[in-house]
Amino acid sequence: MAQKREIPYIWVTWLTKLLVGENSCEWAGWFRSNHLNSSFDKIPTSFDAAEWQINHTTLLNAAREDLEDKGWTVFTEHQNTFKLRGSSAILGGKPDLIAVSDNKGIILDVKTGQPSPSHHLQVLLYMYAVPKALRQYLGVAFEGRVVYPNHLDYVPSNGVDSNFVNNFSQLIKRLASSQPARRVPSNLECSFCNITNIDCPDRIESEEERLQDTEDF
């Protein structure tokens, strides 16, 4: 049975698709935020993690080498893990790359798939949280970047404005609430969700499974 966390814990990437409207089911984020990851069953994934890791590492290494050649001091992945404590939850994340030079900084994330507005939001969330959560970056002015296989997007720092902060703060409060968020089952979203029907009775099973249930006509 899913075990409650003592304090809600929210991973940055649980917020981004909800913020841009790519996902609508806030209940999935509420459930993950409020329950220990190790305590509930998950749908096995067909995602090829090995291929993704190789592609991701190749792009990240190229970005790191480029910035180091230009004189930046670069930190990658686990060196960048942060936890930012708020009044309702802890926000956690791990930018792929942080580069610093004097009081200037770059936060960069690598994406191996198709571009999405949620990628920019992810970097904006890092630009907000990193200087607050990691003392060594206090006072550093960050710009953001998203690296794709064929191009680079810049994420300007003026995106971290009061409207942005208000929007994600409200979402964090809803996901951290003791009141469950709204479930919004759909074929598409449930097919990418790893929460089983043990915990989510509204889960819509795959088209194939539903057809097997009804193919006696």
Other CB atoms closer than 10 Å to residue 87's CB: what's the count?
Answer: 8
Nearer to ligand SF4, 99 or 176 (CB): 176
Site for ligand SF4 contains 174 (CB under 6 A): no
Q: Are 125 and 119 in contact (CB under 8 A)?
A: no
Judged by DSSP in three states, 75 sits in strand
Nearer to ligand SF4, 40 or 137 (CB): 40
Site for ligand SF4 contains 202 (CB under 6 A): yes
Q: φ, ψ for residue 94 (rounded to 5)?
A: -155, 85
CB of 47 to ligand SF4, least distance (A): 16
Site for ligand SF4 contains 125 (CB under 6 A): no
Of 12, 15, 16, 27, the residue at the interface with ligand SF4 (CB under 6 A) is 27
Site for ligand SF4 contains 111 (CB under 6 A): no
Size of the site for ligand SF4 (CB under 6 A): 12
CB of 203 to ligand SF4, least distance (A): 4
Tokens of 72: 């930046």
Distance of CA 95 to the CA centre of its chain: 10
CB of 197 to ligand SF4, least distance (A): 7
DSSP 113-157: S---HHHHHHHHHHHHHHHHH-GGGTT-EEEEEEE-SS-EEEE-G
Site for ligand SF4 contains 56 (CB under 6 A): no
Q: Which stretch binds ligand SF4 (CB under 6 A): 92-100, 104-112, 128-136, 193-201?
A: 193-201
Q: Are 71 and 101 in contact (CB under 8 A)?
A: yes
Q: Residue 190: which H helix or E strand, with range? A: helix 187-191
Of 28, 91, 121, 172, the residue at the interface with ligand SF4 (CB under 6 A) is 28
**Which spans of this chain sit near ligand SF4 (rule: CB under 6 A)?**
25, 27-28, 183, 185, 189-190, 193, 195, 200, 202-203
